[in-house]
Amino acid sequence: MIRACPSCGQRNRIPPAHLHQTGNCGKCKAELKPIDTPIDADVELFDAISKEAKVPVLIDFWAAWCGPCRVAAPEVKKVAAEMAGRAVVMKVDTEAHPQLAARYGVRGIPNFVVLRDGQLVMQQPGLVDSHQMKGWLEQAERRG
Q: Residue 100 and residue 107: Cα distance in Å, rounded?
A: 12
Q: Which of 8, 25, 28, 69 is catalytic?
A: 69
Is 69 annotated as catalytic?
yes
- Cβ-in-10-Å burial (0-12, 13-18, 19+) of 53 comes to buried
Closest CA relative to residue 72, chosen from 36, 110, 124: 110
Is 66 annotated as catalytic?
yes
Q: Which of 5, 25, 28, 66 is catalytic?
A: 66
* Catalytic residue numbers, as ranges: 66, 69
